[in-house]
């Protein structure tokens, strides 16, 4: 809908500007002709094409090829020669080629233009989702999440890491380059590369067996009696004053997440319509995107009385590779040294998704490991890796304001937005359902975990600062 509205508005504005004003033509004797206008296109007087009927001059119709366009915008017709092999001006051989409608004139090879755009990006990513991974409570309470259908009165458990939109990576920097060249007035090709640095955050919390309770919440579903499922927690730090705790537990928990993004494009552009100060081009080509997301969490708890310890580590790593096509429009409007450029397009193609899960845990006494497990609280041995393919689309919008402070050189500032559909994000692949009938670190509840990759979405937006060189 955005592309359709843009195409319609651009077409109406450009064609409205091309209307010819039919005002009275003023004469100074039989020799001088006033300048004519088509929209805001300045058309040179065509007195050299007059014919005489009696004593009155008769003016030949103005053709599109006679319009002299300024401001660095490519001309519609071929009135000057800069074809391959011609170094600027129109000499005898080159001029005849243009005037006779030969290859140079036919292909409109009168102006050759190239561009180099280098931009720095300051971008924000949508906060990622994950289950509540760490929670705290008063020293006398067990740090379990309340039942949302029957919350207890006076509960003090507070989620401190994770939850809906709980993973916010803040601001990320990046770069974008766009390089290309026009091979005729109306056709060009280019390439664009974008890289966005890691967007993520770290979390850590620890205790010495006193103070607030710290735990990693999960939902316990006994296989022998699923109807008794209830909220529970893996203790990280707990005071002995809590009922049911034989000895205080001291420990720590660390977690982190990160998202990386890069893209590469090869595209062609063709003029849809233009005037002296406005231009609309159709964009089409190939697009590649790579979006990687990672989340890990590690905890270690030690019994203050016996020095028995247990540790638990889980990592979720996702890779999303997009290969497809792109189609859209780019509009360019100038007024003096100022220019506004708007790019609106959509990428459509295949999104290849891979999810890798890693779980590890161990226990022992006095820093001597007795047992090692290839699973963890959140990862079982039966679901370590999975992959699939989905048809996806990525809408994109760039709006840029530029100021030309030197010939061929402009400073630019802009707004950028992208939306990724059908992507696998690490936090959304976590399932809190755990079988508690066995050892707490031995997971057997595969039937209670997602068998497929969970679909997600992500938007990225921010500003760009850069330089554009036209040559």
- Structure confidence at residue 470 (pLDDT): 86
- Structure confidence at residue 315 (pLDDT): 94
- Structure confidence at residue 155 (pLDDT): 67
- Structure confidence at residue 110 (pLDDT): 46
Helix (H, G, I), strand (E, B) or coil at 245: coil
**77 confidence band (pLDDT: 50, 70, 90):** very low
Strands 433-434 and 213-220: parallel
Helix (H, G, I), strand (E, B) or coil at 377: coil
Average of per-residue pLDDT values in the chain: 77
**241 confidence band (pLDDT: 50, 70, 90):** low
The more confident residue out of 444 and 162 is 162
Strand partners, 223: none
Q: pLDDT over 70 for what percent of the chain? A: 68
Q: What is the mean pLDDT of residues 32-36?
A: 39
Sequence-ordered alpha helix ranges (H) in 186-293: none
pLDDT at residue 364 greater than cutoff 60: yes
Q: What is the mean pLDDT of residues 117-123?
A: 96
- Structure confidence at residue 244 (pLDDT): 58
Query: DSSP letters of 301-346?
Result: EEETTT-EEEEEEEEEEEEEEEEEEEEEEEEEEEETTEEEEEEEEE
Strand partners, 196: 174, 261
b vs e for 431-451, b when ≥16 Cβ sit within 10 Å of the residue's Cβ?
Answer: bbbbbbeeebbbbbbeebbee
Highest mean pLDDT pick, 35-49, 320-334, 422-436, 443-457:
320-334
pLDDT at residue 55 greater than cutoff 60: no
Q: Where are the domains of the chain?
A: 2-106, 114-470
Strand partners, 181: 114, 189
- Whole-angstrom Cα distance, residue 464 to residue 199? 17
- Structure confidence at residue 147 (pLDDT): 72
Q: Lowest mean pLDDT: which of 35-49, 148-162, 395-409?
A: 35-49
Q: Lowest mean pLDDT: which of 45-59, 172-186, 286-300, 352-366?
A: 45-59
The domain defined by 114-470 folds into Lipocalin (2.40.128)
Give the tokens for residue 325. Answer: 């096509």
- Structure confidence at residue 173 (pLDDT): 95
**432 confidence band (pLDDT: 50, 70, 90):** confident
The more confident residue out of 256 and 248 is 256
Helix (H) or strand (E) holding 97: helix 92-99
Maximum separation of any 2 CA atoms in the chain, in Å = 120
- Structure confidence at residue 62 (pLDDT): 38
- Structure confidence at residue 103 (pLDDT): 40
* Alpha-carbon distances, residue 122 vs 172, 288, 293, 340, 465 (angstroms): 6, 21, 19, 20, 8
Tell me how crowded residue 137 is: count the other CB atoms within 10 A of its CB: 21
b vs e for 278-310, b when ≥16 Cβ sit within 10 Å of the residue's Cβ?
Answer: bbbbebebbbbbebbbbbbbbbbbbbbeeebbb
- Structure confidence at residue 436 (pLDDT): 53
Confirm whether pTM is higher than 0.75. no
Q: What is the pLDDT of residues 160-216, one digit of tens each?
A: 999 888 899 999 999 999 999 999 888 999 999 999 999 999 999 999 988 889 999
Q: What is the pLDDT of residues 282-299, one digit of tens each?
A: 999 999 999 999 999 999
């Amino acid at each position: 809908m955005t592309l359709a509205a843009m195409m319609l508005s651009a077409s109406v504005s450009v064609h409205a500007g091309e209307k010819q004003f039919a005002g009275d033509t003023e004469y100074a004797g039989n020799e001088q002709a006033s300048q004519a206008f088509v929209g805001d296109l300045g058309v040179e007087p065509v007195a050299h094409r007059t014919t005489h009927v009696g004593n009155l001059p008769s003016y030949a119709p103005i053709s599109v090829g006679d319009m002299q366009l300024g401001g660095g915008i490519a001309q519609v017709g071929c009135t000057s020669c800069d074809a391959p092999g011609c170094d600027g001006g129109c000499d005898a051989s080159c001029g005849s080629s243009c005037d006779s409608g030969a290859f140079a004139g036919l292909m409109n090879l009168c102006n050759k233009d190239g561009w180099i755009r280098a931009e720095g990006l300051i971008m924000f990513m949508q906060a990622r989702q994950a289950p509540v991974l760490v929670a705290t409570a008063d020293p006398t309470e067990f740090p379990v999440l309340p039942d949302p259908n029957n919350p207890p009165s006076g509960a003090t458990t507070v989620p401190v890491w994770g939850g809906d939109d709980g993973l916010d990576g803040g601001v990320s920097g990046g770069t974008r380059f766009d390089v290309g060249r026009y091979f005729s007035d109306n056709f060009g090709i280019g390439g664009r590369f974008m890289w966005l640095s890691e967007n993520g955050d770290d979390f850590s919390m620890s205790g010495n067996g006193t103070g607030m309770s710290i735990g990693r919440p999960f939902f316990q579903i006994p296989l022998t009696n699923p109807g008794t499922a209830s909220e529970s927690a893996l203790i990280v730090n707990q005071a002995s004053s809590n009922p049911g705790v034989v000895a205080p537990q001291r420990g720590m928990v660390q977690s982190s997440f990160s998202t990386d993004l890069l893209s590469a494009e090869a595209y062609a552009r063709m003029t849809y319509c233009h005037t002296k100060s406005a231009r609309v081009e159709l964009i089409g080509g190939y697009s590649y995107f790579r979006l990687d997301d990672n989340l890990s969490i590690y905890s270690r708890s030690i019994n203050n009385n016996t020095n028995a310890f247990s540790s638990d580590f889980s990592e979720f790593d996702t890779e999303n590779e997009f290969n497809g096509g792109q189609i859209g429009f780019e509009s360019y409007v100038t007024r003096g040294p100022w220019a506004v450029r708007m790019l609106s397009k959509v990428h459509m193609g295949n999104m290849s998704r891979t999810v890798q899960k890693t779980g590890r845990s161990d226990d022992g006494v006095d820093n001597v490991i007795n047992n090692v497990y290839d699973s963890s609280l959140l990862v079982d041995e039966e679901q370590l890796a999975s992959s699939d393919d989905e048809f996806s689309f990525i809408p994109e919008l760039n709006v840029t304001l530029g100021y030309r402070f030197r010939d061929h050189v402009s400073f630019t500032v802009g707004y950028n937005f992208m939306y990724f559909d059908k992507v696998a994000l690490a936090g959304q692949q976590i399932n809190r359902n755990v079988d508690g009938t066995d050892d707490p670190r031995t997971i057997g509840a595969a039937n209670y975990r997602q068998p497929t990759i969970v679909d997600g979405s992500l938007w990225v937006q921010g500003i760009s600062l850069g330089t554009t060189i036209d040559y």
